[in-house]
Every structure is written in C-alpha cells, then in structure tokens.
C-alpha cells in the first residue's frame, strides 16, 4: 500500500521513524517489521526465538535495525529494546506491543499454568512495554503506543474465556492509556484483527483443539495475511501528527 498522499503538508510516511516491534519472530510482528523497514523506518525488534530474529535481520536493509532476544513478560528485556532504540536511533516514535499467545481450554480444565503464561505475556507484556517507553515519550513530548488486541477483545468464545479476558484487558488498558496520555502528545492504537493466518494457532497447545478451531474457521472464512495487519500499522503510524486512530477492527470479509 502506498500511503503517500498528494497533500504536501500531509505526506504520510514512516520514513526515518524509530519503531519498536515485539513478537517479531513470526506472523504479524515479522510482517510489520519487514513492511516498516522497506519503507524507511528504523526498527528495533524482539521475541524469544533469537534464530528467527537473526533470519529476519538478514532480510532487512543494513544499519536500519537492531534486535534482541526478548521475553515481554520480563520488564528488563522490554526496557532493553527501548534503550536500544534510544542508543541507536536517538528516539522512540512508536512501540508496537504485538507479542501474544493463545493456549485454549475451558475453565473447568483448570489449566492454571497456561492462564498464568497468557496473563504474563498478553497483559504484563503490554504493561511492561507501556512502562518502559512512557518516560522516553514524556521526555520527547510525543510518541505512539500500539497493541495487537483481537476480536476476542469484544466477543467471548467458549473455550477461550481467559484469552478473551486478556484481550478485553488489553483494550481497557489501552483506553485508559489514551485518556491519561493524549494530553501529553502520546497516541494510542488498539488494533483488533479477526482471523489471520499465523503460527498463533500452534500456541493453542492441544493439537485436536487446534485442528478443530482452524478447520471450523477456515470452513467459513478466508483468513487475512499478516501483511494485511502490517499495512494498517504502517498507516496508523504514518498518520499526520494531529490525527490518531484509537481503535480498529480488521476482519476477513467473510467473517461474521
């Protein structure tokens, strides 16, 4: 997508912006890193699988990126990404909090370890990102914090109560952040995708359940590609200073 407008005052571009992306080793995060880097952004990215980050780095223009093995549930790891951006590029224009997992089970199964991992990754990961980057954005007087939410942040599905809970919580946190920080020049965006064809479905944990979910959804819907979401993220970050897209849902046309 070409997001360059014809209005000379409103040339929408991510060129030269310093952007941090979490969950960059696959899916939406990886596609977003590639798209933003191709269009001239400086990218700092992280996830736990360092080999995948290294492969991704091999596809990017040299000198315009930095990466580090990152577990978003660990505040120091996330702080390190923020520090990398400031050291290498002198600023943080945007932080895309995208890392997430979706182990599914019914509440009666009592999979407390899975729930704990989900809370730590999806909710604490977001909070760690906000907490690490806000001081920098306050100093700058501007910045943009984005989060990958989900349609599961609006709807409840049996067998996904805890995952939905984390995505509802992310939406609440992002709306709270908007209310607290818009006066400080900080933009917030909660992007809620419908089904996107990624490895997320492998994190369901139970192969039979994973097959069931994927085939039921594939039967009715054509899923989006990770780059479909990346296009929106680029658009949101490139928007003129006066404009912010706070919340958006992006579904496959066939999804109900």
Which residues are identified as catalytic? 163
Per CB under 6 A, 128 contacts ligand NDP: no
Q: How far is the CB of 102 from ligand NDP (least distance, A)?
A: 6
156-174 b/e with 16+ CB inside 10 Å = b?
eeebbebbbbbbbbbbebb
Per CB under 6 A, 121 contacts ligand NDP: yes
Give 14 or 101: the residue with its C-beta nearer to ligand NDP. Answer: 101
181-209 b/e with 16+ CB inside 10 Å = b?
beeeebbbbbbbbbbbbbebbebbebeeb
Q: Which residues, other chains included, contact 170 with Cβ-Cβ below 8 Å and sequence gap of 6+?
A: 122, 123, 126, 147, 149, 153, 190
Where does this chain touch ligand NDP (CB under 6 A) — which range of 71-79, 154-162, 233-241, 243-251? 71-79
Give 43 or 195: the residue with its C-beta nearer to ligand NDP. Answer: 195
Compute the Cα dihedral for 169, 174, 175, 181 and give only its sign: positive
Question: Which residue from 159, 165, 163 is spatially nearest to 209, judged by alpha carbons?
Answer: 159
* Cβ pair 225, 124 in contact under 8 A: no
Which position among 37, 95, 101, 104 is part of the footprint of ligand NDP (CB under 6 A)? Answer: 101
The pattern of x and - marking residues 132 through 161 that bind ligand NDP according to CB under 6 A reads: ----------------x-x-----------
* Phi-psi sector, 177: left (phi>0), alpha (psi -120 to 50), beta: alpha
The pattern of x and - marking residues 198 through 227 that bind ligand NDP according to CB under 6 A reads: xxx--x----------------------x-
Where does this chain touch ligand NDP (CB under 6 A) — which range of 56-64, 134-142, 174-182, 197-205? 197-205
Per CB under 6 A, 99 contacts ligand NDP: yes
Q: Which residues bind ligand NDP (CB under 6 A)?
A: 22-29, 47-49, 52, 70-73, 98-102, 121, 148, 150, 193, 195-196, 198-200, 203, 226
């Amino acid at each position: 997508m070409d997001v360059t407008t014809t209005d000379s005052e409103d040339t929408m571009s991510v060129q030269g912006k310093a952007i941090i992306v979490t969950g960059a080793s696959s899916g939406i995060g990886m596609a977003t890193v590639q798209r933003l880097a191709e269009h001239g952004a400086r990218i700092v990215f992280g996830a736990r699988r360092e080999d995948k980050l290294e492969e991704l780095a091999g596809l990017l223009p040299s000198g315009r990126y930095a990466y580090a093995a990152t577990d978003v549930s660990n505040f120091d790891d996330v702080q390190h990404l923020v520090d990398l951006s400031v050291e290498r590029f002198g600023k943080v224009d945007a932080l895309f909090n995208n890392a997430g997992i979706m182990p599914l089970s019914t509440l009666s199964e009592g999979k407390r370890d899975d729930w704990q991992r989900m809370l730590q990754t999806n909710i604490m990961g977001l909070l760690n990102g906000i907490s690490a980057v806000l001081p920098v954005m306050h100093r700058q007087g501007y910045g943009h914090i984005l989060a990958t939410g989900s349609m599961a942040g609006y709807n409840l599905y049996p067998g996904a109560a805890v995952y939905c809970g984390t995505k509802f919580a992310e939406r609440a946190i992002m709306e709270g952040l908007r209310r607290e920080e818009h006066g400080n020049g900080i933009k917030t965006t909660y992007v809620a995708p419908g089904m996107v064809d990624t490895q997320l479905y492998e994190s369901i944990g139970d192969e039979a359940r994973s097959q069931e979910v994927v085939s039921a959804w594939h039967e009715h819907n054509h899923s989006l590609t990770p780059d479909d979401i990346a296009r929106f993220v680029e658009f949101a970050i490139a928007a003129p200073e006066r404009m912010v897209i706070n919340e958006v849902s992006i579904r496959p046309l066939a999804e109900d």
